[in-house]
Structure 1
Amino acid sequence: MEEVLDKKFWNDYLRGYTIYDCTIYRSEGFGFVFVEEKDDRDELPKTRFITMSLNRPMDKRFGVVTGTRYDFCTIACSVNPPEYVAVDIGSQVFSASALRMGGEKNIDQVIDMKTYRGEVGIINKLVRAAGQIYALGNYRKIYRRIGVDQWVELGKEGKGVPVPRDVEAGKTYATSLGFVDMSAFSANDMYAVGGKGDVWRFDGTRWHDCSLPTNVPLSTVCCAGDGLVYISELNGSVWAGRADQWKRIAEADIAWGHQPVDSVWFNQRLYLGAQEGLWTVDRNRKRLVPLSEVERDAPNATNGGRLDLSPDGKYLLTAGPHGACLNDGTGWKRLFNAFDFM
């Protein structure tokens, strides 16, 4: 594979940074969130947003912008319009497209994000579902991006997820409510998960409660190509099913802080990305196992962890703290690695 980046670019922009999240638009187009390695926690580390277009020559293939205010940014790409967008837990927005690359108004500056007792909600994750970008908040809030500096909370369209009356009235503080992840078969068949077994399905008109029979916090959801929905718990255990029919298909005991953060269906296999690399389900043993046990060329934990599937479903991107790899359906190929430039 042609060299993705050279030592000069690494030294100028990536040295001293680690990858926090990634997204893929096409086989030669990626977006990354890099975070400054920093011992001093008195102020937030810098966040660097980098887009790569590998079909362009080396001196024109990168877009680089450094921000100083972002905190735990996640990134996603949309199909229409085609753009990369990142949002942090405080609802700060960064967008990167052919026409713009820079900060936007915070989501809470554009719309009302108040939740329990008037507190401003947080953003847990940014996702692409049915081709569009959604920001997932606490207290079952979901925000859809509709343009530059434009978001809508689904409840304002009459399509919000119900919240218990005592929580809505400010009488009960509920940590059991989602959301942290969302996936879709289509715009009229989406699933959102989070909280303690909190699972909801959208049918295009309203949301239906599909809670799992568990009180364990949930971390990821994937609407898979085999027609099933896969949901992972905080410890990595995996459930499979649809609507209100669920079965735990794999046990796991991943330590807190290293739990799955992304899940993707690719090449007839469920991939889970965690802070310590990639995992998959061994159905015979009913266990979550390291991906290296079933794929010899699987990326290691320095080059794999975060996951994103291209909109056409043909390419799987993964990134660890020090590098990234791409799977085109025939196997894994390393895009770049920090240790190549040491």
Structure 2
Amino acid sequence: MAKISNTPFIARPQWRTHYQGWHIVDCAVRDRNIVYLLARPDLDEEKQSKTWDHDIGTRLLSIYLDEQNPEKRHGWSELDGFNRPRCGVSHQPIAQALVVARNNEGSVYAIGGGKPGAMENIGTDLNPITMRVKCIGGYAYSVGRNRKIFKRVAPGRWERMEGLPKPGDEDFSAVGFNDMDGLSEQELYAVGAGGDVWRYDGKRWTHCDFPSKEQLGTVTVGQDGKVYISGEGGNLWIGAKDTWTQVHQGNSSLLNNSAVWFENQLWLCSDYQLRVWDGKEVRRLRHGGADVVHTGHMDARDGLLVIAGLYEVHAYDGKTWKTLVAPY
């Protein structure tokens, strides 16, 4: 029978020191034993409205799931000057955690793989404006505005993927990619504003004929060979190249934060809800006879799925849900 573990993996003393007073804004799974969380301090509305985002602190938290000693189950790094940061991982050419700022230089903090934390830039004056960090084929990619995609080919070295034309006369601050995915670099899909969908075949990018001009939030290339795109309100499209079918009409007010392929189905997660596409319908996820109501940001890799809300983090290995972080 399916199991649920509700005792937080992070013990009370460690939670009080490193999590209390902070909220989680992103997560990344390096492997089944290492999870990264990105957190920022809780600020009241008045203080937040008077503070530039890059002046708000950022904390990278590492959780080691194979560690038995509660005092050694996590690590942390304090970062300054990161505007609207996102986190991700790389496995090639080295396994590391990456925190990327949404700024013109693409400031990056990298740590792991036996190396101390180090700063690098995606490209000074290239305005990457990273919206998401994706790991495909082991390599990390910065996916951002103005249809700019950069591949991290080595520590400190990011190369721009050529062949993507700039948008037209639209407002550049609102046009570009929100997500990218693929099983390898031989077939990638990138999606974004105004129904903008592009496919890379390993040699060149081509524009896909997508039947909607809506804002597109996520794209997932499933192990079943299909491509899944979620858009405004949680709409879901399935297809490839120039053929797309809408299979679900959403009723949410937000885009999905994350979409992953896990346990042979598509998982979709937003700030309000968690849903799965089981091949027939988009539905609530049930486990042990009850609805799974975790929300926030999500990542999956190496047989482990993690969902990080503002103050709670939960992991699922296909059999057991485990609470990693929760307030005491």
Give the structure-2-normalised TM-score.
0.88
- 1:274 matches 2:267: no
Residue 307 of structure 1 is matched in structure 2 by 298
Structure 2: how far apart are the matches of 1:250 and 1:221?
A: 15
Q: Matched residue of 2:153: which SS? A: strand
Q: Give CA deviations for 1:3-43 in whole Å, capped at 9, x if unaligned.
A: 52211111111100111111112222111101111121233
- Residue pairs, 1:1-342, within 5 angstroms: 4-39=9-44, 40-41=47-48, 42-43=50-51, 44-56=55-67, 57-80=69-92, 81-90=94-103, 91-109=106-124, 112-113=125-126, 120-155=127-162, 160-163=163-166, 167=168, 173=171, 177-255=175-253, 258-281=254-277, 288-292=282-286, 296=289, 299-301=292-294, 304-310=295-301, 312=302, 314-338=303-327, 341=328
Structure 2: how far apart are the matches of 1:280 and 1:194?
A: 21
Deviation at 1:295, TM superposition (A): 7.3
Q: Matched residue of 1:9: which SS? A: helix
Structure 2: how far apart are the matches of 1:99 and 1:180?
A: 31
The 1:69/1:174 distance shift into structure 2, 3 A limit, reads closer
In terms of mean alpha carbon deviation, does 220-229 or 124-133 score higher?
A: 124-133
The 1:211/1:334 distance shift into structure 2, 3 A limit, reads farther
Give the structure-1-normalised TM-score.
0.84
Structure 1: how far apart are the matches of 2:291 and 2:110?
A: 31
In terms of mean alpha carbon deviation, does 10-19 or 273-282 score higher?
A: 273-282
Judging by fraction of residues, say which structure has more strand.
Answer: 2
Q: Matched residue of 2:81: which SS? A: coil
1:145 partner amino acid: R
Q: Give CA deviations for 1:58-78 in whole Å, capped at 9, x if unaligned.
A: 333322111232222111112
Structure 1: how far apart are the matches of 2:12 and 2:255?
A: 33
For these two proteins, the number of residue pairs brought into alignment is 313
Q: Is the 8 A contact 2:232 2:250 kept in 1?
A: no
Structure 2: how far apart are the matches of 1:298 and 1:221?
A: 25
Structure 2: how far apart are the matches of 1:75 and 1:299?
A: 25
Q: Matched residue of 2:114: which SS? A: coil
% identical aligned pairs: 27
Q: Matched residue of 1:15: which SS? A: coil
Structure 1: how far apart are the matches of 2:192 and 2:212?
A: 12
Residue 116 of structure 1 is matched in structure 2 by none
Q: Is the 8 A contact 2:132 2:144 kept in 1?
A: yes
Structure 1: how far apart are the matches of 2:323 and 2:86?
A: 22
Deviation at 1:299, TM superposition (A): 4.0
Deviating 4+ runs (over 6 angstroms): none
Structure 1: how far apart are the matches of 2:123 and 2:187?
A: 27
| Greater length-normalized contact order (CA 8 Å, ≥ 6 residues apart) | 2
CA root-mean-square deviation? 2.2
